[in-house]
Amino acid sequence: MKRKIARLSQRYLTALRNHLKQGVRAKLQPALRLGREAAAFGLETLELARMHERALATLEIARTKNGMMKRAEIFFAETLTPIVETHRAARHRKIELNRLNETLDRRTVDLAAANRRLQRGILRRRVVEEAAGKNGKQHDKCLKESLQLQTRLRQLTHRALFAQEDERKKISCELQDEIAQTLLGINVRLLSLKQHGRSNAKGLKNEIASTQRLVLKSARSVRKFARELDLYQPD
């Protein structure tokens, strides 16, 4: 895997160099292909950002050098797109997992109801045994079996609660990743707006609209994750 990532990093450097040489007429398809490879390798946003920074350092691009830094940032933003889409698909899978967990919750409730019925059955058994005057050994055996059943039920309940807590932590981590990636995308788009806003008013409006949509998607994602976390809050 390290060799594959190293080769990908070298291809990224080469593609970025060619992109900058071509100037404003350069196409972004090579960046998109690199992004798909990075997503296939399971790279995260920060790993790709480090790869981009190493390429900039190798190419020795100054931030005020004929707008090359801005074009490099646009190239990076295009490369980042498949990774963002991969996380969006993962979020959809997480929603499906949440549905399964809701089923687990209902079964946990059923288990608690069965536990209560078992407790009532134990009490009735004790009353019957005492009324029938059974000997102490048989009574102790029944009591031991009842206690063992209670212990097993408590263990099953604890396991279900631990599974829910672990799922809440996973959702919280994914929410943090989603917000970080979205904010990074917004930052890159704003840098692009700053570079090309004066010379291309129509393009500026389109970029602003696109950035606003990205912000709205981020807000919806945050609200959706918040609702999902509420589902896992204990009563």
Integer Cα distance of 160 and 53 in angstroms:
44
- As a whole number of angstroms, the distance between CA 224 and CA 230 comes to 10
200-212 average pLDDT score: 72
Residue 165 has pLDDT above 70, yes or no: yes
Burial class from Cβ neighbours inside 10 Å (0-12, 13-18, 19+) for residue 167 reads: buried
- What confidence tier does 176 reach under pLDDT thresholds 50, 70, 90? low
- Averaging pLDDT over each range in 14-18, 66-70, 139-143, which range is the top one? 14-18
- Is 37 buried (19+), middle (13-18) or exposed (0-12) by CB count in 10 A? middle
The answer to whether residues 52 and 188 touch, using CB atoms and an 8 Å cutoff, is no
Give the per-residue pLDDT at 24. Answer: 75
Rounded Cα distance between 99 and 117, Å, is 27
What is the total residue count of the chain? 235
Q: DSSP secondary-structure letter at 23? A: G
Render the burial of 81-102: b for 16+ CB within 10 Å, e for the rest: bbbbebbeeebeebeeeeeebe
Quickly state the pLDDT bin for 21 (edges 50, 70, 90): confident
For residues 172 and 37, the model is more confident at: 37
190 and 184 in contact (C-beta within 8 Å)?
Answer: no
Query: Is the separation of the CB atoms in 40 and 165 below 8 Å?
Result: no
DSSP letter at 24 equals G
Q: What mean pLDDT comes out for the span 163-182?
A: 72
pLDDT of residue 235 exceeding 60, the answer is no
Phi–psi pair at 234, nearest 5 degrees: -70, 150
Give φ, ψ of 46 to 5 degrees: -65, -35
Separation CA 73–CA 70 (nearest Å): 5
Q: Is the pLDDT of residue 65 over 60?
A: no
> Rounded to two decimals, what is the model's pTM?
0.40
Helix then strand count (H, E) for the chain reads 6, 0
Q: Which two tokens stand for residue 59?
A: 């190419």
Residue 227, token pair as written in the block: 């609702």
Measured CA to CA, the distance from residue 131 to residue 133 in angstroms comes to 5
Token pair, residue 3, equals: 């060799």
